[in-house]
Amino acid sequence: MPGPTCTAEEQIIPNAIDDGVIRLSNVSTPTLTLYPAKTVNETAPPLVIVCPGGGYEILSMNSEGSECAEWLNSIGISAAVLKYRVPDNRAGALLDACQAVKLASEQATNWNIDPARIGMLGFSAGAHLCALCAASENRPAFSVLIYPAYLFKPGGIELVDELTIDANTPPAFVVQTKDDLDYYRSTLAYAAALDAAGVDIESHLFARGGHGYGLRDTGHPVSQWPELCAAWLREMQFIDG
């Protein structure tokens, strides 16, 4: 892959807080790990590229990666977990994300996926990465942003300058909580920008739940987001049924 790399050896960060999260860092070689869904009625399923979060420093590979892929499989969607370049390598990460969409489109027949239904789902920094990719030439058909970070300018709800939203930006489903104090304005800024461009957007701003929960139960209503997302995907005809 072109672009900057890390000189340190790839490693799993020791789990100091025993939360069951696998944190990977020093990634120089990006990969896609495919989780194929079962074919129903001989129809190729959609594919969602999953971008774990981690502040562009690490990647939460299970709680925001493989666990999400398994959920997507359960609702009839093939998944591909993207291991993108970290740390401090946003340029490399964006190249990796865009290449993932391009590769999935090129390999649609071999991977038994529908090339017209290739989407992206990201958490935190991974959601920011999905939004950037959705504004690029290699954009997905839809995006799902879970507690997105870095999408608003400090002090308000204006979208960051690095993102250009227009009528060609793909539709999005966005989830966040108001007590995600550092980042919740990302949802407000992104939803307002898509709405202004006439792009379909479903956004949910819950009261509590914090940040970094993935699909794990928070004890708050935000943990219902997978069911809400599945309903949106059906409503938008990205999945059947």
Q: For residue 210, what pLDDT is reported? A: 97
Residue with tokens 């359960």: 74
The pLDDT confidence band at residue 3, using thresholds 50, 70 and 90, is confident
H, E, C per residue of the chain: CCCCCCCCCCEEECCCCCCCCCEEECECCCEEEEECCCCECCECCCEEEEECCCCCCCEECHHHHHHHHHHHHHCCCEEEEEECCECCCHHHHHHHHHHHHHHHHHCHHHHCCCHHHEEEEEECHHHHHHHHHHCCCCCCCEEEEECCCCCECCCCCCECCCCCCCCCCCCEEEEEECCCCCCCHHHHHHHHHHHHCCCCEEEEEECCCCCCCCCCCCCCHHHHHHHHHHHHHHHCCCCCC
26 domain-assigned: yes
Residue 241 pLDDT exceeds 80: no
The boundaries of the domain holding residue 197 are: 11-235
The one-letter code for the residue type at 221 is P
42 domain-assigned: yes
Tell me the pLDDT tens digit for each residue of 187-222: 999 999 999 999 999 999 999 999 999 999 999 999
Residue 41 pLDDT exceeds 80: no
Q: Count of domains in the chain?
A: 1
Q: Do residues 182 and 124 lie in contact, with contact meaning Cβ atoms separated by under 8 Å?
A: no
6 domain-assigned: no
In this prediction, residues 109-126 reach a mean pLDDT of 97
87 domain-assigned: yes
CATH number at residue 77: 3.40.50.1820
28 domain-assigned: yes
Residue 224 pLDDT exceeds 80: yes
Q: Do residues 144 and 119 lie in contact, with contact meaning Cβ atoms separated by under 8 Å?
A: yes
d(CA 177, CA 159): 18
Percent of the chain clearing pLDDT 70 (strictly above): 100
- Note if the bond before 30 is cis, omega within 30 degrees: no
Q: Please indicate, yes or no, whether the overall pTM of this predicted structure exceeds 0.85.
A: yes
3 domain-assigned: no
The pLDDT confidence band at residue 16, using thresholds 50, 70 and 90, is confident
Q: For residue 202, what pLDDT is reported? A: 98
Residue in 75, 54, 67 with CA at minimum distance from that of residue 12: 54
Q: How many residues does the chain have?
A: 241
Is residue 200 classed exposed, middle or buried when 0-12, 13-18 and 19+ CB atoms within 10 A define those classes?
A: middle
172 domain-assigned: yes
Report how far Cα 200 is from the mean position of its chain's Cα atoms.
Answer: 17
119 domain-assigned: yes
